[in-house]
Amino acid sequence: MATEMESASDMNDAGTQLLEEEKRPTVLPLETAKKAKPAGAEQEDGATEKLVSNEKINSNKDASEVKFLSADSQNGDAKIDIENLKLAFTGMTKEELMKFANDPFWIRLRWLLFVLFWLLWVAMLAGAIAIIVMAPKCAPPAPLKWWEEGPLYEIYVRSYKDGGVDQDGIGDLKGVTSEVKYVDELDSTGIILSSILKSDNQDPDAVESFTEVDPIYGSLEDFKELLSAVKNRSLHLVLNFIPNHTSKKHPWFIASENGSDIYSDYYVWAPSKGQNDDGEIPPNNWVSVNGGSAWEWSSKRGMFYLHQFDKDEPDLNMRNPKVVAEIKKVLQFWLELGVSGFQLEKVEFLLEDEELKNETPLPVPSDATHLDWDFYTHLHTTNLPGIVDILTQWKEVITSYGDDRILMVKGNASKNALHQYAKNNGTDLVDLVQPTETFTLLKEGFTADDLNDIVKKVLDSSNTGNTGRPVWQLSGGHSERIATRVSREAVDGLTMLVMLLPGTPITLYGDELAIEGASNVSMPWNNSSQTGSSQAPSAGDTGSISFDTIASSQLTDRSHLNLYKDLVKQRESPSIMYGSCDTSVINGTVFVMTRIKSGNPGILVAFNPSSNNVTVNLNSIDNISEELTVQLQSSNFVHDTVRLKSKIDTDEVPLPAKAALVLSFVPKLTS
């Protein structure tokens, strides 16, 4: 028995030695080991099965493995060992780790990987930035100039306010200065000041000096104070004057009529064609705007001088470079004082045909005679090509004082000539062209179609590049005010259009109150002192002043004045500043305008100029939504259910007679 145990012990020792030498024990699953059991090893089975059974019982122990230790080559006996193994990872020692950490190769490799990582990261960042910067995107709209952003406020000084100590009833510079705050509260961006140049009091267009203030309005110091007040409120001041002619009392004309060598050619002179029973015969058939011959005989010089307006307003000779240079000096004088630009009138008359050719009668017969302005085509006395060259020289002087200086032209300057200049030079010669005939053509009883025709004509002309930015004005020139021409009830609807159409609105002082009368009617500041300029026509004569004084309008929620202020704020909408514009007439009675800029609420103006109450369906309007929000109402808008900020259905919009609404909506843009 001892021998057998020794023999078994020897075999186990041999198996253990073999296992250590090979370092890789042969490990077989239990089932495989059973199959590989040598013949005659039944004696071991019991022990093995018992161990397997124990393994099953002790389920919380590690997995069992079978180690094939040795085999008896003679009798095929084999010994197996089943043990519990704990799976664990045996890492390197600290010494081994430090060996690799300090190895120069691994140090270099780590630094290389570190540098490559950050280079890759920076490259990815640079690529992302490049994609963002270089990717095509919608160009932002060009920033607007001050004369494009807000309305301009046009003041006729003589009728605005008397600010003098003597209170003579004549508006003056001190009066304007005292109410700069009021203009600022209207959110205007600039003031257009009527000519304050020294002139014949009976004829303010007959300028006696281009660089002096007429004493009736104050002094040059008063003008400087006005400029200071304007600039303190971040406003701009534009000065109006007529460069076409002077007064007969101007030193230039006096010297020219006397035959002075320096000034002899400052005006347009021509010899007589002979004599008849009426005296000297004029050089040609030209007539003045006021009617009658455009030539006046000067016995002192023995020649005719040209006057396309009054005989006391001789035309300057703009073909003489010295005269053009004189006007440059005038511009520089006022720019040095601080004005922001000029509104020049009657520039279409600056040049005449050098050969003094006769004018051709209009082909269509009219009631006019050969002594009337309307009888001729005026191809030889208006809008001659050289006018653009003169304006170019003056514009260069103006812009030399800064890009925020403006050149305006009021009148009927050649649109084609200005368009050609813009086409050739890539910029507008005139910043704002203020035509004399737009809304001034409207009379009482006008229709939605009449309104649409005027708006489309101006917009179409602007879109073809003929006039640059559109200019809108309800009252101006020498016509009656809009409230007199079309009725006070229709003023709010028209004001909505002027403020919200593309372009620059110009408000003649008092139109924000819907005052009536002539264009030079006095401003109604309060009830106790109704005009402030008693020598000018009074708004009180029309019966309107008792309602729309400045004082009363500011206290009334539904007043023309407060609606005007709300409309100016509405102009801040991107759809108004930069959006597209479409107009149409619904059911022959309602004028509709929409302004849309992608990504912003759309704005719609609906105006019923008829004398009937209507309800209209606006679903036919492009990009319109099913629901509209009421933003503003005309002061005469009365309806039981429609209120500010209320919602109304697009297919059922109520509009009382001569009333209007400003509505907002979410545009349904089509691809």
Confidence of residue 50 (pLDDT cuts 50, 70, 90): very low
pLDDT at 49 over 50: no
Q: Are 204 and 306 in contact (CB under 8 A)?
A: no
- Specify the DSSP class assigned to residue 315: B
pLDDT at 91 over 90: no
- Which one, of 614, 617, 597, 622, lies nearest residue 655 by Cα? 614
Question: Residue 183 belongs to what H/E stretch?
Answer: helix 180-185
Mean pLDDT is lowest, of 107-116, 133-142, 382-391, for: 133-142
pLDDT digits (tens, 9 = 90+) for 165-218: 788 889 999 999 999 999 999 999 999 999 999 998 778 899 999 999 999 999
pLDDT at 59 over 50: no
Long-range interactions of 326-329: CB distance < 8 A, separation 24+? 326/252, 326/266, 327/210, 327/243, 327/394, 328/393, 328/394, 328/397
- Specify the DSSP class assigned to residue 521: P
- Specify the DSSP class assigned to residue 490: G
- Which one, of 437, 564, 554, lies nearest residue 493 by Cα? 564
Q: How far apart are alpha carbons 101 and 107 in whole angstroms?
A: 7
Distance, C-alpha 357 to centroid of its chain: 46
Confidence of residue 108 (pLDDT cuts 50, 70, 90): confident
pLDDT mean across residues, the chain: 84
Assigned token pair, 209: 């000096």
pLDDT digits (tens, 9 = 90+) for 247-256: 999 999 999 9
Phi, psi of 287, deg, nearest 5? -120, 155
Higher per-residue pLDDT: 39 or 489:
489
Q: In the predicted model, what is the mean pLDDT of residues 486-493? A: 95
Q: Are 216 and 201 in contact (CB under 8 A)?
A: yes
- Print the SS3 string covering 252-269: HHHHHHCCCCCCCCCECE
pLDDT at 27 over 70: no
Give the model's pLDDT for residue 53.
41
Q: How far apart are alpha carbons 217 and 177 in whole angstroms?
A: 12
Question: Residue 347 belongs to what H/E stretch?
Answer: none
Higher per-residue pLDDT: 667 or 28:
667
Query: Residue 493: which residues within 8 A CB-CB, separation 6 or more?
Result: 605, 607, 608, 609, 634, 658, 659, 660
Mean pLDDT is lowest, of 1-15, 520-534, 588-602, 631-645, for: 1-15
Other Cβ atoms closer than 10 A to 516: 24
pLDDT digits (tens, 9 = 90+) for 293-342: 999 999 999 999 999 999 999 999 999 999 999 999 999 999 999 999 99
How large a percentage of the chain has pLDDT more than 70?
A: 80
Higher per-residue pLDDT: 417 or 494:
494
Mean pLDDT is lowest, of 291-305, 464-478, 493-507, 592-606, for: 464-478
Q: Are 659 and 616 in contact (CB under 8 A)?
A: no
Higher per-residue pLDDT: 34 or 387:
387
What type of residue sits at position 448?
A: A
Mean pLDDT is lowest, of 110-124, 184-198, 398-412, for: 110-124
Give the model's pLDDT for residue 280.
96
Q: How far apart are alpha carbons 594 and 22 in whole angstroms?
A: 94
Q: Are 18 and 11 in contact (CB under 8 A)?
A: no
Q: How far apart are alpha carbons 194 and 214 in whole angstroms?
A: 12
Q: Which residues in 616-631 are b (16+ Cβ under 10 Å) and which e?
A: bebeebeebbeebbbb
Highest mean pLDDT among 27-36, 53-62, 92-101, 384-393: 384-393
Q: How far apart are alpha carbons 455 and 227 in whole angstroms?
A: 35
Q: pTM for the whole thing?
A: 0.78
Distance, C-alpha 131 to centroid of its chain: 29
pLDDT at 44 over 50: no
**Cα-based distances in Å from 424 to 124, 418, 421:** 46, 10, 5
Give the model's pLDDT for residue 164.
83
The Cβ-side half-sphere exposure at 460, using a 13 Å CA radius, reads 7
Question: Residue 12 belongs to what H/E stretch?
Answer: helix 2-22
**Cα-based distances in Å from 550 to 150, 258, 475, 510, 612:** 21, 52, 19, 9, 31
Q: Say if residue 498 is exposed, middle or buried (CB neighbours under 10 Å; 0-12, 13-18, 19+).
A: buried
pLDDT digits (tens, 9 = 90+) for 122-176: 999 888 887 777 766 566 777 899 999 989 999 999 999 999 878 888 999 999 9
- Specify the DSSP class assigned to residue 541: G
Phi, psi of 473, deg, nearest 5? -150, 130
Q: In the predicted model, what is the mean pLDDT of residues 60-78? A: 47
Q: How far apart are alpha carbons 254 and 265 in whole angstroms?
A: 12
Q: In the predicted model, what is the mean pLDDT of residues 90-112? A: 75
Higher per-residue pLDDT: 57 or 169:
169
pLDDT digits (tens, 9 = 90+) for 612-623: 999 999 999 999
Query: Residue 655: which residues within 8 A CB-CB, separation 6 or more?
Result: 590, 606, 607, 608, 613, 614, 615, 616, 661
Give the model's pLDDT for residue 19.
42
Give the model's pLDDT for residue 468.
66
Q: Which residues in 545-577 are b (16+ Cβ under 10 Å) and which e?
A: bebbbbebbeeeeebbbbbbbbbbebbebbbbb
Assigned token pair, 34: 């059973």
DSSP letters spanning 438-480: SGGG--TT--HHHHHHHHHHHHHHHHTTSSSS-EE-SS-TTSB
pLDDT digits (tens, 9 = 90+) for 636-670: 999 988 999 999 999 999 999 999 999 999 998 66
Q: Helix, strand, coil shares of the chain as percentages rounded to 5?
A: 35, 20, 45
Confidence of residue 416 (pLDDT cuts 50, 70, 90): confident
